[in-house]
Amino acid sequence: MSRDPIARAQSADINGERLWRRHLEMARIGATAKGGVNRPALGEKDIEAHALLATWARERGFSLAIDDIGDMFVRRQGTDAHVEPVVSGSHSDTQPTGGRFDGIFGVLAAFEALEAIDDAGIETKRPIEAAIWNNEEGSRFVPGTMGSGVYSGRLALADSLATADREGATVAEAVAALKRAVPDADVRALGAPIAAFVEAHIEQGPVLEDAGEVIGAVTGIQGSRKFYIEVKGEEAHAGTTARRHRKDAFVEAVAMVNALHEIFHDAEDLVRFTIGQFEILPGARAVVPGKVKFSIDFRHPEIAVLDDLGDKVEPTCLSHARACEVTVDELPRSPPVAFSGLVPDAIEAAVQARGYPWRRIFSGALHDAGNLARLFPAGMVFVPCERGLSHNEAENAKPSDLAAGAQVIADVLVDLANRD
Ligand SMILES: [Zn+2]
């Protein structure tokens, strides 16, 4: 893409007050008593959030499209109908005790950018779009970043559509419900080419706030591997079964957990190793545990470390199984992502032109941009969040920081949508 100096000079000032108001309106959908948000992916509340965005889009004359995995796109047309769009966006689903900004900020920043560009009467050569990627959080349907994962070809469509939540409702049924709620949406082809993708998100960490900076230009996303371990012993009477006759799944699982924590301990503290689920079955006081299930979430910026340490999970568990049997299942991996070139360069140019205090920053959390970067030029913009707190009902962000993030998105969209 070559730079058009005339188009480059033109951008639109976003409306920070409107952006904040839209955040408050969205936060009412699925609001929790403690001031957070609970919007499971394509549940009733999340579909309501999609429908609200669709209403705002129609008021503007923007067009709507939905793909087969339930990603939704709001489009402002460009002057050339035959070129790929420049897209910005994030997700509208939340963790069960989620906050008001994780995900939805990236959607609303993109939509505010479209509105501001529209208000300013700026024509772009390429269409510009605000996207909601389906099921980023992975708390209703596993795995997360499902919408962008299927769009980019990392996850299979059929398997993803067949995935069910705890009540047995499938992704396919949820996507059908979304399409009914937005009946005027066109069909978007999965994997349809995107000229460039840029995602705004709250940092979900303390670095920007601590440094008094407003924008993080994201250089990459660390990779992750996720495992489910099942240790199978034998249920027995707690009063009559001698130690030598027990197949105690809990005792052996604890030995595995301790060994894993030792292996995953690194002096530089870059390894992120979490056992967040641990279930003892049947879970009765007077019964020797017959089964234990636990999860492993392992993240690191370097692929070599992900390979090396991740490959030790199964042998370590096997070596601590004595009387019990152990099985180790792994979910599809997310390799580390490096953002470089077109999009990060445009972000840094926009930030410097606006004079915001900023830094380059690496993302510890997964994001949809990581999937999209597999196929398309991509990048991310972080804004500070209070105390780095996220996946928490107390999650908070300053209106002025959100406005700065949306401004960078608007400037990047105008810039990139006027390149060949
Ligand atoms: Zn998020």
SS3 of residue 45 by DSSP: helix
pLDDT band at 313 (very low <50, low <70, confident <90, very high): very high
Whole-number Å distance, alpha carbon 143 to ligand 1 midpoint, is: 14
Whole-number Å distance, alpha carbon 365 to ligand 1 midpoint, is: 8
Pick the CATH number of 223-330 from 1.10.3080.10, 3.40.50.720, 3.30.70.360, 3.40.470.10: 3.30.70.360
The pLDDT of residue 8 is above 90: no
Whole-number Å distance, alpha carbon 402 to ligand 1 midpoint, is: 15
Whole-number Å distance, alpha carbon 4 to ligand 1 midpoint, is: 33
Paired with 273 in beta bridges are: 298
The pLDDT of residue 7 is above 60: no
Whole-number Å distance, alpha carbon 39 to ligand 1 midpoint, is: 12
Whole-number Å distance, alpha carbon 200 to ligand 1 midpoint, is: 10
With b for 16 or more beta-carbon neighbours within 10 A and e for fewer, the 358-370 pattern comes to: beebbbbbbbbbb
Mean per-residue pLDDT for 10-21? 94
**pLDDT (tens digit, 9 = 90+) per residue, 174-232?**
999 999 999 999 999 999 999 999 999 999 999 999 999 999 999 999 999 999 999 99
Whole-number Å distance, alpha carbon 99 to ligand 1 midpoint, is: 10
Whole-number Å distance, alpha carbon 298 to ligand 1 midpoint, is: 18
Whole-number Å distance, alpha carbon 227 to ligand 1 midpoint, is: 21
Whole-number Å distance, alpha carbon 91 to ligand 1 midpoint, is: 7
Whole-number Å distance, alpha carbon 90 to ligand 1 midpoint, is: 7
Whole-number Å distance, alpha carbon 49 to ligand 1 midpoint, is: 15
Whole-number Å distance, alpha carbon 133 to ligand 1 midpoint, is: 10
Say what percent of the chain tops pLDDT 70: 98
Number of Cβ within 10 Å of residue 321's Cβ equals 18
The Cα angle at residue 356 between residues 355 and 359, in degrees rounded to 5: 120
Mean per-residue pLDDT for 100-123? 97
The pLDDT of residue 40 is above 90: yes
The pLDDT of residue 4 is above 50: no
Whole-number Å distance, alpha carbon 292 to ligand 1 midpoint, is: 30
User: Which structure tokens are listed for 220?
Assistant: 């990459």
Whole-number Å distance, alpha carbon 287 to ligand 1 midpoint, is: 41
Whole-number Å distance, alpha carbon 136 to ligand 1 midpoint, is: 7
Using alpha carbons, select from 307, 310, 326 the residue that is nearest to residue 318: 326
Whole-number Å distance, alpha carbon 370 to ligand 1 midpoint, is: 12
pLDDT score for 332: 85
Whole-number Å distance, alpha carbon 137 to ligand 1 midpoint, is: 7
Residues in the chain: 420
Whole-number Å distance, alpha carbon 201 to ligand 1 midpoint, is: 7
Whole-number Å distance, alpha carbon 106 to ligand 1 midpoint, is: 8
Whole-number Å distance, alpha carbon 145 to ligand 1 midpoint, is: 9
70/177 Cα distance (integer angstroms): 10
pLDDT band at 334 (very low <50, low <70, confident <90, very high): confident
Say what percent of the chain tops pLDDT 90: 95
Whole-number Å distance, alpha carbon 218 to ligand 1 midpoint, is: 14
pLDDT score for 81: 86
Task: Provide the pairing of β-strand 72-76 with 63-66.
Answer: antiparallel
The pLDDT of residue 3 is above 80: no
Class of domain 5-222+336-417: alpha beta
Are the C-beta atoms of 395 and 202 separated by less than 8 Å?
yes
Are the C-beta atoms of 144 and 137 separated by less than 8 Å?
yes
Which residue ranges make up each domain of the chain? 5-222+336-417, 223-330
Helices 16-27/104-119 angle, 10° precision: 140
Mean per-residue pLDDT for 139-160? 96
Whole-number Å distance, alpha carbon 44 to ligand 1 midpoint, is: 19
Task: Provide the pairing of β-strand 358-363 with 236-237.
Answer: unpaired
pLDDT score for 6: 42
Paired with 358 in beta bridges are: 215
Residues 6+ apart with CB under 8 A from 159: none
70/106 Cα distance (integer angstroms): 17
Whole-number Å distance, alpha carbon 420 to ligand 1 midpoint, is: 31
pLDDT score for 420: 87
pLDDT score for 197: 98
